[in-house]
Amino acid sequence: MDFISRTQTAKLRAVFDVVDEDYPFTPLDAVLENVIGVKEVDKVGEIVKRNVEPGFGYLKRACDTIAVYMK
- Cβ of 58: how many Cβ atoms within 10 Å? 19
Question: Which tens digit of pLDDT belongs to each residue from 36-70?
Answer: 999 899 999 999 999 999 999 999 999 999 999 99
Contact status, residue 14 vs residue 60, Cβ threshold 8 Å: no
Rounded Cα distance between 18 and 54, Å, is 12
Q: Write the pLDDT tens digit of every residue in 4-44.
A: 998 889 999 999 998 878 889 998 899 999 999 998 999 99
Domain boundary assignment for the chain: 2-70
Q: What b/e readout covers 21-52, taking b as 16+ CB neighbours within 10 angstroms?
A: eeebeeebebebeeeeebeeeeebeeebeeeb
What's the pTM value of the predicted model, to 2 decimals? 0.89
Cβ-based neighbour number of residue 12 at 10 Å: 23
